[in-house]
Amino acid sequence: MLEGWAQVFMTGAELEASLIRDNLQSEGIDAEVLSQKDRSFTVELGDLSPVRVLVPAFRYQDARAVIEGHRDAAGAVRFACPACGEACDEGDLTCTACGQALT
């Protein structure tokens, strides 16, 4: 926890963190990305340069529920169809755009 904010997700990819932040915000949950990546260093440092998604501590459980609702069978968080990129809603089993299975 950092000054009233709680880490709800951590990744090594800023794009993934930004997508999760955007989806949380679309659900009405304030969210921010905190990155420790050094842009001048061209080698990926993995866990040494985490990108965190933070939410207000009082919304932590709500944010976790949103994220868990978007985990696929392999445990990855997906807010879009892996085949066509179309946004999907929590609980969707198939993509409404292309028919791809989402689990």
Amino acid identity at 41 = F
Q: Which residues of the chain have pLDDT under 70?
A: 1-2, 37-48, 103
Domains and CATH numbers, the chain: 5-68 (3.30.70), 73-103 (no CATH)
Measured CA to CA in angstroms, residue 74 lies from 26, 53, 59, 77 at distances of 24, 21, 26, 9
Check residue 74 and give its pLDDT.
77
Alpha helices, H only, 1-103 = 14-26, 60-68
**Tokens 């880490």 belong to residue:** 7
- Contact between residue 69 and residue 62 where contact means Cβ atoms under 8 Å apart: no
pTM of the model: 0.70
Three-state DSSP state, 78: coil
